[in-house]
Chains A and B, each alone.
Chain A
Amino acid sequence: MDIVLVDDHPAVRAGLRGLIEGEAGLRVAACAATAREGLEAIATTRPDVALVDLHLPDDDGLSLCLRTRALERPPRVIMYSAFADAGLGVRAAIAGAEGVLPKATPPQELLAALRDRAGAGLDVAALRELGERLDPDDLPILGMLAHGVPADEIQATLGLEAGELEGRRWAMLARLGGGRRARLAAA
């Protein structure tokens, strides 16, 4: 299983690489320190999973996640963050991430999440709270994303044009303070 690591701290990259390369069946395909390098690495190496830091120097990780998920045959994306709360879980779902792993996650759990699946459902209270801040028209999208419905199905269900869903997701992230890039996109 090929993994791309995107984190601006070299000690984190080195630590993750050491951890992953000691595991049978897991391999680090590439490491990147910025969102721009990260997207490039993901597009070129076509990994199975991308582990993406929330805070990157040139952009935020959620924007990179959304961009990555818009690629053809995208990898699973797992957000990696020092500050993980229930609200971030919801925003990560909007960005198309499979889940959020706090940086304090013990190594064995981290490996298990990379192999199988990260995150166990979204926090209902956070979902409701963030949902209230969204345009009511976007709530069906949030609902489906929260339940892991693939993007093409959401698009078909709501009768959206190609690209329209992605635009709505950028706007949703922007409303929820999704990051520099998302705010620009919504402006």
Chain B
Amino acid sequence: MTVPLHTRILLADDHAVVRRGLRLVLEGEPDLRVVAEAGDGAEAVERGLHADVDLAVLDISMPRMTGLQAARELTSRRGDLRVLILSMHDNEQYLFEALRAGASGYVLKSVADRDLVEACRATMRGEPFLYPGAVRSLMRDFVERARRGEGRPDDPLTPREVEIVKLVAEARTTREIAAELVLSEKTVERHRTNILAKLGMRDRVELVRYAIRRGLVEP
């Protein structure tokens, strides 16, 4: 994605005073422009679906629809929109939820003056933005999961399904896969159908791309 000259921002927070403050912080920068404001999550979704917004900055706790719900809705309906979550919670649970909801960054309100501008720019470059404590939390979580032998956080696929994705992407036939994993061909077929359904994909081509993205096979 090319970085536009100005990043057009939707600012969503239920407190007018906070919106005013955030606007002051953002508009002090030549490359950032606040083009819309929303006072709750539902309004944010409505406004964020318009093509004139590049980046939605969403407060995590808003009435009608939380920032997390709005983020989920917006990122699933507009793949090109970037989302940052602003939060008063220095808490890893919220952080993980925000990332799961499709946000590419998590900014603490207590340091918004310092971090928000940098977060907007990082997000528009396609990089994630996390505060230092968040990075530590993520690493700790990752290491603990690895130690317990779990898969990636929030992996939609079971370890068995991941195995099958890899084999499918390596262009093995159903019979070969069944033999390799000591399963019946029918079971392998069923796994394949489930995998496609879980990932919302239609065919083997999409599955191969997914496997490459996940690093299961070499391109």
Q: Interface residues, chain A, CB within 8 Å of chain B?
A: 8-19, 57, 82, 103-104, 106-107, 110
**What is the interface residue range for chain B against chain A?**
10 to 19
Residues of B within 8 A of A (CB): 14-22, 24-25, 88, 109-114, 116
**Contact (Cβ within 8 A) B21 A10:** yes
Closest A residue, CB atoms, query B59? A11
Q: Which residue of A lies closest to B110 (CB)?
A: A8
Main secondary structure of the interface of B (DSSP, over half): helix
Q: Which residues of A contact B112 (CB under 8 A)?
A: 9-11
Contact present for A9 and B16 (CB under 8 Å): no
What CA separation (Å) do A12 and B22 show in the bound complex? 8
The 3 closest A-B pairs by CB, nearest first: A15-B21, A10-B113, A14-B21
Chain A residues lying within 8 Å of B17, measured Cβ to Cβ, are 12, 15-16, 19, 103, 107, 110
Distance A15 CA – B112 CA, assembled complex (angstroms): 12
Complex CA distance for A18 and B20, rounded to whole angstroms: 8
Q: How far is the CA of A57 from the CA of B108 in the complex (A)?
A: 13
User: By the criterion CB–CB under 8 Å, are B113 and A14 in contact?
Assistant: yes
The reply to whether B19 and A15 contact each other, CB–CB distance below 8 Å, is yes
Verify A19–B110 contact, CB threshold 8 A: no
A64 to B114, alpha carbons, bound, how many Å?
A: 26
Given contacts A9-B88, A103-B15, contact A16 B110 (CB under 8 A): no
Extra A-B contacts (4), CB below 8 Å, given A10-B110, A14-B25, A103-B15: A9-B109, A10-B21, A16-B21, A107-B20
Main secondary structure of the interface of A (DSSP, over half): helix
- A10 and B20 in contact, given A57-B110, A103-B15 (Cβ under 8 angstroms): no
Contact among A8, A12, A110 for B18, CB-based, below 8 A: A12
The 22 sampled A-B contact pairs (Cβ below 8 Å) are A8-B110, A9-B18, A9-B112, A10-B111, A11-B109, A11-B112, A11-B116, A12-B18, A13-B21, A14-B22, A14-B25, A14-B113, A15-B17, A15-B18, A15-B21, A16-B21, A18-B20, A18-B21, A18-B24, A19-B20, A107-B20, A110-B17
Q: Name the residue of chain B whose CB is nearest to the CB of A8.
A: B110
Residues on B with C-beta less than 8 A from A19 are: 17, 20
Min CB distance, A129 to chain B, in Å? 26
Q: How far is the CA of A16 from the CA of B109 in the complex (A)?
A: 15
Which residues of the other chain, A, contact B110 by a CB distance below 8 angstroms?
8-10, 57
**Contacts of B109 on A, CB cut-off 8 Å?**
9-11
On whether the beta carbons of B16 and A11 are closer than 8 Å, the reply is no
A148 to B15, CA, bound (A): 29
Picked from A8, A82, A107, the residue with its CB within 8 Å of the CB of B16 is A107
Q: Bound complex: CA of A110 vs CA of B16, how far in Å? A: 11
**Closest Cβ–Cβ distance, residue B9 to chain A (whole Å):** 14
* B113 with A15: CB separation less than 8 A: no
Q: How far is the CB of B123 from chain A (nearest CB, A)?
A: 18
A39 CA / B17 CA spacing, docked (Å): 23
Task: Name the CB-closest residue of A to B24.
Answer: A14
- Smallest CB–CB gap between A7 and chain B, Å? 9
CB distance from B112 to the nearest CB of A (A): 5
Give the most central of A15, A106, A110: most B CB within 10 Å. A15
B24 partner residues in chain A, CB cutoff 8 A: 14-15, 18
> Do residues A11 and B21 form an inter-chain contact, with CB atoms below 8 A?
yes
Residues of the B chain whose Cβ atoms lie less than 8 Å from the Cβ of A18: 20-21, 24
Q: Which of B20, B88, B112 has the most CB of A within 10 A?
A: B20
Considering only CB atoms, which chain B residue lies closest to A22 in the complex? B20
CB of B115 to closest CB in A, whole Å: 10
Decide if B16 touches A106 in the complex (CB within 8 Å): yes
Rounded to whole Å, the gap between the CB of B29 and the closest CB of chain A is 14
The answer to whether A15 touches B88, judged by C-beta atoms less than 8 angstroms apart, is no
**How far apart are the CA atoms of A104 and B109 in the complex, in Å?**
16
Which of A8, A11, A104 interacts with B25 by CB under 8 Å?
A: A11
